[in-house]
Chains A and B, each alone.
Chain A
């Protein structure tokens, strides 16, 4: 298959998947709004910890003011909108367990490529639907933000969000592929979800956790884009983080390929 052909196939997958996802658009819009509800808890919680609800208070915890904490959580929501992959691991595991994987093995199409473009479509539709709720919430909370970062940082933030998507996809697909060896991975996925909540910086900024968690790749799923957006990295630090992240992405890509090839050897085509 030539490269042009392959892109045509992926383009059609993208269109088809988008058509499918749009069947659920109202569910999406509502879901997006409700996902902001926990933020309200965070606003009150950190307000209580700081003993103030004043955004302009310059008291700091772990280097963050009260306003920055709230802004951090809002950014974390945005980063998660890129890096979270609901149903990816469990979907791969289900395909393996129930044998629906066969369509990727008998048709001239690559499973990981297919799932990737399906996910891109999924996300694009999500952004179309979720943009307005996001704008509303960010507008309402504009006072918590330290102001617009400089243009280069904005470019960095955008790049880190795109890469967060790639990281999220590769980590979760790798987890899903474990199902080749352990048919039931739901408890494993649950553990991963909990760890991820911590280690990605979704729950609290990673500055408040031991240093070593910054060596793990999970911080790119939320923490790094957030910190960038709050202007807490110098341009040099930003470049360095993005470079390390790119290396992680390449490594995870090859790990996926390798595990997939090994898994297929193991595969018994379960389920009839």
Chain B
């Protein structure tokens, strides 16, 4: 059975349209004009049990709204969704007991108490048996390397330490579905890596379904093979991560190490865009279809010591894709149902 099934989900917000100026503000007291904003528009996707899927998109794209819908925080305007077989916004206690939502910018721990006390509270709220609670807490605490810190008031912890505590708190009841909204936002590189490694290990050990949003490509590359790209409330891409680069980037990067003198910039520009040309290294951005021709021309022209052809970094591709609305594939695409193994 699929862990999550979303069909034609739409969420519209009514936003108060405020116009400039004093008179407009006064008028606004009596008559308000509202604009309907589509936070999520006709979104459909399926996530299989045990999958780890990333939601990509710029701020305001609708990632968080989707997570909120799936965790039952808000009601949709239209469409249907089931998660673990439940309709999220009915907020059944049975469903609440089986999933967890972690938001990088929110905290659910008691500020003035040691994390340990918050964990105890979770034990009771979720009705976790003592022996299981012990076992899970020991596992999580050692995986996240926080055994020294669980006795300290949460307010004294660093952001990275606090995030790790949040993760423990949300995994104590061993949820089948984990929704992560920007889990590494604001963390330093070391903490980011720790969180990534932990998530990867935990997910593969426990085979839980994970849906995460992030705008750190590093997170996504480290964790997920499948990504759903969303922009302006519409799904632009749903499929393997590698496909994104293929689909949204027409270019590849050729790197050369040459012996002797390097060709002039003008000469190289015939093939594509010169990214670097400092002997002995040359870096060229070349249209995908022209790569073979370019390579053979270059092999003829210079004495090459080393050569590599790479896809452009995912981060770059995505950033470009979102800033340039005329980029290929940015017209609303009907999503292909890459449900995976269904």
Give the B-binding residues of A (Cβ under 8 A): 1, 5, 8-9, 12-13, 16, 19-20, 23, 99-100, 102-103, 105-109, 265, 267-269, 272
Contacts and interface: CB of A to CB of B under 8 A. Distances in A.
B106 interface: yes
A103 B127 contact: no
A12 B124 contact: yes
A205 to B, nearest CB: 39
A137 B143 CA distance: 55
A183 to B, nearest CB: 11
A6 to B, nearest CB: 10
A19 B124 contact: no
Interface in B67-122: 68, 71-75, 91, 93, 96-97, 99-101, 103, 105-106, 108, 110, 112-113, 117-118, 120-122
Contact of B113 (A13, A19, A102): A19
Given A16-B110, A19-B113, A268-B13, A102 B126 contact: no
Contacts of A16: 110, 113, 117-118, 120-121
Nearest to A5: B127
A108 B93 contact: yes
Contacts of A268: 13, 74
Contact of B73 (A5, A9, A23, A102): A102
A84 to B, nearest CB: 22
B113 A267 contact: no
Contact of B127 (A1, A19, A106): A1
Given A8-B124, A9-B124, A267-B73, A106 B99 contact: yes
Contacts of B72: 105-106
A269 B108 contact: no
Closest 9 CB pairs of A and B: A269-B73, A12-B124, A108-B96, A108-B93, A103-B108, A9-B124, A106-B101, A269-B68, A20-B112
Nearest to A11: B124
Nearest to A272: B105
A102 B97 contact: no
Contacts of B68: 269
Interface of B: 13, 64, 68, 71-75, 91, 93, 96-97, 99-101, 103, 105-106, 108, 110, 112-113, 117-118, 120-122, 124-127, 181
B44 to A, nearest CB: 22
Nearest to B104: A272
B110 A102 contact: no
Contacts of B113: 16, 19-20
Nearest to A102: B73
Nearest to B126: A108
Given A106-B99, A108-B96, A19 B125 contact: no
B125 A108 contact: yes
Contacts of A272: 64, 103, 105-106, 181
16 contacts: A12-B120, A13-B124, A16-B110, A16-B117, A16-B118, A20-B110, A100-B106, A102-B73, A103-B106, A106-B99, A107-B96, A107-B108, A108-B96, A265-B75, A267-B73, A272-B64
Contact of A106 (B96, B110, B121): B96
A271 B122 CA distance: 24
A63 B126 CA distance: 56
A263 to B, nearest CB: 12
A268 B39 CA distance: 11
Max chain A CB contacts within 10 Å: which of B91, B103, B105? B103
A105 B72 CA distance: 7
A161 B73 CA distance: 37
A259 B125 CA distance: 24
Contacts of B118: 16
B113 to A, nearest CB: 5
Contacts of A103: 106, 108
Contact of B74 (A8, A12, A269): A269
A168 B181 CA distance: 37
B63 to A, nearest CB: 11
A106 B71 CA distance: 7
Given A9-B124, A269-B68, A269-B74, A105 B91 contact: yes
A166 to B, nearest CB: 24
Contact of A99 (B106, B124, B127): B106
Contacts of A5: 127
B117 to A, nearest CB: 6
Given A13-B124, A106-B73, 7 more contacts: A12-B121, A16-B120, A16-B121, A106-B72, A106-B99, A108-B93, A272-B64
Nearest to A266: B75
A117 B300 CA distance: 80
Nearest to A12: B124
Contacts of A12: 120-121, 124
Contacts of B125: 9, 107-109
A12 B117 CA distance: 10
B103 A102 contact: yes
A99 to B, nearest CB: 6
A204 B273 CA distance: 83
B9 to A, nearest CB: 15
Nearest to A110: B93
